[in-house]
Amino acid sequence: MFRAQQPFNKTIINNPKISVSMAGRINIIGSSHIAKESVKRVKKEIESFSPDIVALELDSNRAYALLHKDDEKPKKNYGQMIKSVGFKGFLFAVVGSFVQKKLGDMVGVEPGSEMRNALIVAKSKGLKVSYIDQDVEVTLRKFSKAISWKEKWQFIKDIFDVSLHPKKRKMKFDLRTVPEDKIINEMIEEVEKKYPNIHRVLVEERNVIMAKRLYALSRNYPDSKILAVVGAGHKEEILRLIKKLEKEN
């Protein structure tokens, strides 16, 4: 879908495997991909925490896309993309990207700026970088297979509801900041209730993958401090899963 070289391959730890050793120290930041607060906090946390490894909610292709301008990226083949991830996954990616771009324009922040900032700062300090998220193509393929007709109709209903009653769906938080945990939990619960299959693919399964990869990093590098930057909606569950892994091992 977005095949390209890795940005700084000498420092990349991609898809770490689990081994047996003592867990290292992990600090997880919950970010918003369009919040100025997140962009500033990432740099501040790297400076204050002094990690040896920066782990990001990215895969290598998304990292490449963040670090390169449009004219430097391979030309997109939409036919191949649809074939690779399915029409529903492709449509979700297009709509999601459009919505994020519009919201980012509203607050003057490019979507993913906090991840880009983390990559740049980590590179400037010579830190190791690990991409802990699932390959976006895999996620979108799962999305195409998982979404039900009920969820499709619910999505259409929600779009009409927002269009006809915009005040009813007014934002509960400032887009320039990371929402409070209570608001995040309410939003996640609403998504899980209305879109259980989508929630499973986009949230639950990725939480498990990211938790396992962070835990693996901590055991493979027991003397290293790890700073992880993930979406705020993933943070609490990833922490819970890591604690569970520590108890089981």
Q: What is the pLDDT, as a whole number, of residue 201?
A: 95
Residue 10 has pLDDT above 70, yes or no: no
Q: What is the pLDDT, as a whole number, of residue 7?
A: 42
Scan for tokens 């600090």, then name that residue.
27
**Using CA of residue 207, residue 45, residue 105, residue 82, what is the dihedral sign?**
negative
Q: 203-206 long-range CB contacts below 8 Å, 24 or more apart?
A: 203/233, 203/234, 203/237, 204/237, 205/134, 205/142, 206/133, 206/134, 206/139, 206/234
Domain boundaries, given as residue ranges, for the chain: 12-248
14 forms beta bridges with 131
Residues 6 or more apart whose Cβ sits within 8 Å of residue 143: 85, 86, 88, 89, 92, 198, 201, 202
Average the pLDDT over 66-77 and give the result: 75
Among 82-91, 121-130, 139-148, 156-165, where is mean pLDDT lowest? 156-165
Residue 19 has pLDDT above 60, yes or no: no
CB–CB of 35/232 below 8 Å?
no
Q: What is the pLDDT, as a whole number, of residue 104?
A: 67
Scan for tokens 């459009």, then name that residue.
98
pLDDT per position as a tens digit, 193-240: 999 999 999 999 999 999 999 999 998 998 899 999 999 899 999 999
pLDDT per position as a tens digit, 161-179: 766 665 555 555 555 666 6
Scan for tokens 């909606």, then name that residue.
233
Q: What is the pLDDT, as a whole number, of residue 21?
A: 38
